[in-house]
């Protein structure tokens, strides 16, 4: 037993410096990413799969190994880790509030003769997908339709493609103080008697840049 204990102590002494170094590197990197996210307004850094959480995860693993090798040695690393977790939480909140306060809705440039019909189509398609939402406005940020005409090869033959596309944005109320806009793709299929389709984007994972204060919806 004594010999086995000495072997474990030897292994621990060998791996302790390695783990303390790796813990320090991960904590340093997490701090750098927090600073960069705030200074450069990069909210994605705070995401579930963002670099900050990734580095904090690396650090947590090393801190646990340090505690297993030499109980008590991890205390300083744990304290720094806890401070960074708090910094990240506060930074994400501050950054989100700053970005949203400065956000405005998309432009409204389209003035085609079919504008009213397109807005009605967008409203109908969006509410069919999300019937409980309250639409505050519908914007048409692109000035003109873009027509795509080409031949594509699939299923062993060339097929003609001919359609026009445009995008609208639906602004909906998402809280007592905020609104969020979601794109809706419009497409006219010129090979099917100019059939018009509207396809709302999924609301899942909408970036923070799409959200604004209700008072800024003009």
Which regions of the chain are under pLDDT 50? 1, 5, 8
Distance CA 78, CA 200 (A): 46
Characterize 53-80 residue by residue with b for buried, 16 or more Cβ atoms within 10 angstroms of its Cβ, and e for exposed. bbbbebbbebbebbbebeeeebeebbeb
- In 3-state terms the chain splits into helix, strand, coil percentages (rounded to 5) of 50, 25, 25
Distance CA 185, CA 166 (A): 6
Burial of 201 (0-12, 13-18, 19+ CB in 10 A): middle
Query: How much is the mean pLDDT over the chain?
Result: 91
Query: What does pTM read for this prediction?
Result: 0.65
Concatenated DSSP letters of 24-41: HHHHHHHHHHHHHHHHTT
- Residue partners of 68: CB distance under 8 A and separation at least 6: none
**Strands 178-189 and 157-173, bridge-based pairing:** antiparallel
Element (H, E) at 215: none
How many C-beta atoms lie closer than 10 Å to residue 49's C-beta?
A: 7
Q: Which one, of 11, 92, 103, lies nearest residue 44 by Cα? A: 92
Q: What pLDDT score does 5 carry?
A: 47
- Residue partners of 211: CB distance under 8 A and separation at least 6: 100, 103, 174, 178, 179, 180
**Strands 178-189 and 211-213, bridge-based pairing:** antiparallel
How many C-beta atoms lie closer than 10 Å to residue 141's C-beta?
A: 16
């Amino acid at each position: 037993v004594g010999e086995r204990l000495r072997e474990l102590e030897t292994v621990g002494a060998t791996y302790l410096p390695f783990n303390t170094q790796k813990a320090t590197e991960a904590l340093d990197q997490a701090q750098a990413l927090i600073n960069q996210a705030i200074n450069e307004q990069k909210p994605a850094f705070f995401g579930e799969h963002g670099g900050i959480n990734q580095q904090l995860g690396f650090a947590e693993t090393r801190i646990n190994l340090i505690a297993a090798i030499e109980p008590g040695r991890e205390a300083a690393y744990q304290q720094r880790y806890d401070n960074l977790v708090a910094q990240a939480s506060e930074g994400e909140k501050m950054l989100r509030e700053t970005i949203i306060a400065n956000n405005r809705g998309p432009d409204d440039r389209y003035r085609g003769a079919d504008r009213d019909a397109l807005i009605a189509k967008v409203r109908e398609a969006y509410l069919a997908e999300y019937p409980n939402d309250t639409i505050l406005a519908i914007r048409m940020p692109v000035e003109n339709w873009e027509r795509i005409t080409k031949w594509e090869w699939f299923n062993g033959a060339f097929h003609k493609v001919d359609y026009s596309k445009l995008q609208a944005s639906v602004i909906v109320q998402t809280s007592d103080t905020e609104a969020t806009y979601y794109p809706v793709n419009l497409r006219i299929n010129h090979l099917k008697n100019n059939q018009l389709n509207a396809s709302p984007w999924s609301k899942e994972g909408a970036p923070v840049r799409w959200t604004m204060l209700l008072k800024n919806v003009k």
